[in-house]
Structure 1
Amino acid sequence: ITAHYLLSRLKEFPVKVTTLAQGIPLGAELDYMDDGTIQLALSARKEL
């Protein structure tokens, strides 16, 4: 819901809004994620 709200607010600007792919649970802290999980989540982002 938050991503779609941001998308609606930013639609007049030339920005790409994406969601992270699988691998990072909701509410997780990036400090405790391993590099491979973060890289996978960023490389497989999905555009809204």
Structure 2
Amino acid sequence: MAPYEGYRCQYVTDWVADKTRYQLAVDPSEEAALSETLSRCPNEPVTITLAR
């Protein structure tokens, strides 16, 4: 997790976008951590650019 709290929402949305872009697996503990952090970022968009 990003050490600077002000950057965490961007960090987590980038993480989700990268996982989605490259179709990477998410284990249950990772999903819980991402979900918990994203729950504090209700207006942060997740922008995904699909890999070719």
With normalisation by structure 2, the TM-score equals 0.36
Instruction: Identify the structure with the greater helix proportion.
Output: 2
TM-score (norm 1): 0.37
